[in-house]
Amino acid sequence: MPSPHFDLVITGGTLVTMSAKMEIVENAVIGIADGRIARVGSHLSLSADRVIDAGGGLILPGLINTHTHLPMVCFRGLADDLPLMAWLNHHIFPMEARFVNRQMAYDGALLAIAEMILSGTTTCCDGYFFENQIAQAALDCGMRAVAAQGFADFATPDHPQYEKMMAAAERFVERWLPHAPMITPAFFCHSPYTCSPRTLVNVKAAAREAGILYLTHLLENRDEIGMIEKRYGRKPVQHLHHLGVLDDRTVAVHCNWTTPEDIELFADLGVRVSHNPSSSMKLAAGIAPVPLMLEKGIAVGLGTDGAASNNDLDMFQEMDLSAKLHKATLLDPTVMSAETVLKMATIDGARVLGLDRLIGSIEAGKQADIIILDLNQPHLTPLYNPYSQIVYAARGADVKASIIGGKPVMENRRLLTIDLQDAMRNVGEIAAHIQAENQSTIRTSPVDVMTP
Amino acid sequence: MPSPHFDLVITGGTLVTMSAKMEIVENAVIGIADGRIARVGSHLSLSADRVIDAGGGLILPGLINTHTHLPMVCFRGLADDLPLMAWLNHHIFPMEARFVNRQMAYDGALLAIAEMILSGTTTCCDGYFFENQIAQAALDCGMRAVAAQGFADFATPDHPQYEKMMAAAERFVERWLPHAPMITPAFFCHSPYTCSPRTLVNVKAAAREAGILYLTHLLENRDEIGMIEKRYGRKPVQHLHHLGVLDDRTVAVHCNWTTPEDIELFADLGVRVSHNPSSSMKLAAGIAPVPLMLEKGIAVGLGTDGAASNNDLDMFQEMDLSAKLHKATLLDPTVMSAETVLKMATIDGARVLGLDRLIGSIEAGKQADIIILDLNQPHLTPLYNPYSQIVYAARGADVKASIIGGKPVMENRRLLTIDLQDAMRNVGEIAAHIQAENQSTIRTSPVDVMTP
C-alpha cells in the first residue's frame, strides 16, 4: 500500500500535543492534508508537497486569545496608569467616538493580527465596532477568529442609531457563517452597565436563534456591583441570571469580582470565562478567582484584552502572568501550574469559544493550527520541562513559524500574508491624527456612560 | 575651533535620558569617548571613528539588574510550581551541592550574560558561589557587574570549610577592585536564616573595611519571621539592625514581608532594596510593599533573581510585572507608573548599587551604557509615550544594540563578545548530567538548612 501523500509535513521537533493525555512526542512528524492534521507520530517518513523542519524546536498548538479588541492597537500607550472608569470615560470612549471608523477598524485589526501571528496566536476572539471589517482583516490574513459584533446602549461609532444594530447584526451573522471554521460570528454585549436589560435579552435571543456565542464583560471592576445593584436591585451575576442570558454559550469576560456563589452558578449553568490578567492588573480592576473556577470545572481561557490596556497582544506574557499572579496573591506556588496555564491558552481556550472539536490541541482530525518555538536561544537553554519553558521562559518573539488551517502564515519571523511595513505605516498615520487632537478631545468631551 | 572627535557616535533615534529632569531628546546625538558619554544633544553633527544609527528607535540607558545568581541558568525549569523552602531544600540546594563547580559557574554565567545582553541589561549584581569565575565571565564578555562573594553557614560548593571563606573573600576583593568600574566586588550573606550572627557581623565588618557593598536576602518568605524570632528573639529586620549590619551600603533583597516600621527604619538608615517580582510571585514568597518604600524615599531597584525561579533574566518583563503587580494588589492603577518603573530599572538601580555617579542615565560624564530599542515592530506601533512603550509593550527581544562602557557588545541581535552556540552547548552538557541524576539526587539527599 503506498504511503499517503500530505500537503504539508512538520518534522524535526518535540511535539507538545495538549491532548487529553498530554502526550509529548519526541522526533515528531505531523502530516497535514486539506488544512487538517491527518497523521501524528514519531520517526515517520511521510511524503508531502512541503516540509517544514522545526529545527529541534517545540511544536505546539497555536495559542487562543479568548478576548481582545483588535483595533485598539491604535490607542496603545495613549493613556496609562489611570483608573478603569477614568480611562474609559475620559480617554477611550471619547477617542473611539472621534476616531473609530471602517478604515481604522480594518487597519488596526490588520496590525493587531500581524502582532498576534508573530507572537504565536492562531485564533482570537474579538469584540468591537465595525466587526465586519475586523472579520475581513482576519480572513485576508488567514487568521482564525471568533468575530463578535458589539452592542451597547449608547450611540456607537458604527451604529449611531441603536435601532439599526439588530438588523445589522443579523446581516453580520449571515455574511460570516459561511466562512466557518476560519471566521465564527458571535455577539458581544459590552457590559451590564452599558447595555439595558432589553438589549442583553434581545441579543441573547438572537444569538440563541443563530446558534452562536454570546459574550459580555462582567465584573471587571468592583464599582460595577453597586451600580448594577442600585439600578436593578440585583448584583451583576444575579442580574444576568435573572434575565436568562447565562448558559453554556455565554462567555463572561474578566469576572474579577465573582463570589464563590457566582462561581457555583457558572459551574451549574456551564458559563465560560475569559481571564485577562495583564489588562485587569494594569487597570487595577481586580483579580479573578481563577484557581477556584478551575477547581469547579469551569472552562477558563486566557485573553489579552485590547492593546490599550495591556499594552501588547502577546499570549506568552499572559501565560507567565496568570501563572505568577495567582501564586503570589494566594501565597500558594502550586496553583496555576505551567501545564494548567498552557491548557488555558490552548485547549481550554478552545472550550471557552466552543471550538474544542476543531482546535486547541494537535491531534488527528483537528484543524492544523500549529506554532514552532525556536529553542536555540540562551533564555530557552537548557530544556528540562517543555511546559515550564513555554510558560515561564518563552516569549512571543521565540515563535519561528505559525501555521493556521494548514497554511503557513509566518516562517522565520517573516509574515507571509501581511505587508507589515504597510500595516505599521497605516496605523502610524491614524495615530498621528489621534495624537494631534488628543489633548483637546480628552479635556472637552468626556462621554460618561457610568452616569446615564 | 575644530569639532571634537569621538570614538563612537550614536544618532538617529529618540533619547530617553532618565536624568533628574527626565529629558526626552528627539533626533538625539550622543558622542562617546574613552568609554564615557562626552556629549549629548539634538541635531548635532559629530565626527567619530564609528557611528551607530538607531534607525528611529528609542535610545535609553542600559538596564540594571540588581539581583541575580547567574549560573542558576543551569537549573532553569528544573523544578517549578513548588513552595520556596521545598524548592530550595529538596531541589536547588542538593543540586548545587552536587553540580556547582568552577566550570559550571563560568559556563552558566557566560550563558546568563548572553541572555542579559540580548535583553538590554548592561549591569548586573550577582551573588553566588565561585564568584571569581562569574566576575571573570563578566570581564570576558564586557558586561558590567557587581560581583558579590557569597557566604552561608553550611558547607558551600566553593568553600567546604567555612573558616576558609573569609580569607578567600579578602583575596576576592583584592583581585577585583582594580577592575572597577567594570567589575565591582561586594559581599553577599545568603540570609539571616542561613548565616549565623557571627557571619553576618564579620562579613559586614570586612565589607566596611573594604568600602564595598553588603547584600543579603531578607524577608523573602513569611516563614522567616517566626524562624528568626524563635532563634534570636527578634524579627528579621530588628535582628539585623541589632547586629549593626544595616546601613546605606546594605542592599536588602526581596523584603516581601517588611512592615511599615521596617520601612521607616530602612529610610532612616539608608538601606537599599532589590525588588524581584517575577521570582517572588512564582515562588509565592510574598509581595514587597514597594509603593510605600518609594513614598519613604528608599532606593528600590529591580532584579530578576536567578533563572531557576523566574525563569528568565529579561528586565523588560520585570518592569512590566512590577508595574502591574502593585496596581493589581493595591487596586490603585496610579501607583508604579511607567516612569517610576523605568527609573527603578535604570537610575534607581544604580543608586541601589552605589553606582549612580557612573551609570543609570544618559548624561555627559557617565559611562556609556546604552541600549537601542527597535520600534519598527507591530507591538511597538504606534508610539505615543516612550515610557509606556518601554514598560508595557517592549520585550528584551526588541533590543537591537547594546553598548557597555562605550563598547558595542551586541548589534542587530548578534553578540559581539560571546560565542553563543558554544555557550549554549556548554550549558546543555551540564544540564544533561543534571537531568540524568536529577531524580535520585532529589529523592535521596535533601539538604535541610532550615532545621540546623
CB B211 within 8 A of CB B248: no
Mean predicted confidence (pLDDT) in A328-337: 96
Whose cell is 488527528? That residue is A364
Q: What is the pLDDT of residues A305-330, one digit of tens each?
A: 999 999 999 999 999 999 999 999 99
pLDDT of amino acid B197: 95
Question: Which residues in chain A are contacts of B80 at CB distance < 8 A?
Answer: 337-338, 385, 388, 392
pLDDT of amino acid B2: 57
CB A321 within 8 A of CB B321: yes
- All domains of chain A in start order, with CATH: 5-61+366-412 (2.30.40.10), 63-352 (3.20.20.140)
Mean pLDDT of the residues in chain A: 93
Q: What is the pLDDT of residues A283-300, one digit of tens each?
A: 999 999 999 999 999 999
Q: Which residue of A has its CA nearest to B325?
A: A281
CA quadruple A355, A361, A366, A369: dihedral positive or negative?
positive
pLDDT of amino acid A92: 87
Q: Which residue of A has its CA nearest to B423?
A: A378
Q: What is the pLDDT of residues A24-75, one digit of tens each?
A: 999 999 999 999 999 999 988 889 999 999 999 999 999 999 999 999 999 9
Mean pLDDT of the residues in chain B: 93
Question: Which residues in chain A are contacts of B83 at CB distance < 8 A?
Answer: 333-334
Q: Do B384 and A222 touch (CB under 8 A)?
A: no
Closest Cα of chain B to A238: distance in Å? 24
Mean predicted confidence (pLDDT) in A186-191: 96
Q: What is the pLDDT of residues B396-430, one digit of tens each?
A: 999 999 999 999 999 999 999 999 999 999 999 99
pLDDT of amino acid A447: 39
Q: Do A286 and B389 touch (CB under 8 A)?
A: no
Band of residue B3 on the pLDDT scale cut at 50, 70, 90: low
Q: Do B81 and A333 touch (CB under 8 A)?
A: yes
Closest Cα of chain A to B222: distance in Å? 10
Closest Cα of chain B to A74: distance in Å? 7
Q: Which residue of A has its CA nearest to B418?
A: A378
Band of residue A85 on the pLDDT scale cut at 50, 70, 90: confident
Cis peptide before B181 (omega within 30 of 0): yes
pLDDT of amino acid B110: 98
Question: Which residues in chain A are contacts of B400 at CB distance < 8 A?
Answer: none
Mean predicted confidence (pLDDT) in B188-194: 95
Q: Do A284 and B331 touch (CB under 8 A)?
A: yes
Q: Which residue of B has its CA nearest to A310?
A: B392
Kindly report the CA angle at B435 between B431 and B439, in degrees rounded to 5? 150
Closest Cα of chain A to B308: distance in Å? 10
Q: What is the pLDDT of residues B27-81, one digit of tens each?
A: 999 999 999 999 999 988 889 999 999 999 999 999 999 999 999 999 999 989 9
**Minimal Cβ distance to B424: which of A73, A311, A381:** A381
pLDDT of amino acid A29: 96
Reported residue count of chain A is 452
Q: Which residue of A has its CA nearest to B323?
A: A282
pLDDT of amino acid B201: 96
Helix axes A102-118, A420-444, angle to 10 degrees: 120
A444 vs B102: CA distance, rounded Å: 65
pLDDT of amino acid B76: 96
Q: Do B389 and A338 touch (CB under 8 A)?
A: no
Percentage of the residues of chain A whose pLDDT score is greater than 70: 95
B282 vs B286: CA distance, rounded Å: 9
Question: Which residues in chain B are contacts of A322 at CB distance < 8 A?
Answer: none
Q: Do A115 and B314 touch (CB under 8 A)?
A: no
Q: Do A397 and B395 touch (CB under 8 A)?
A: yes
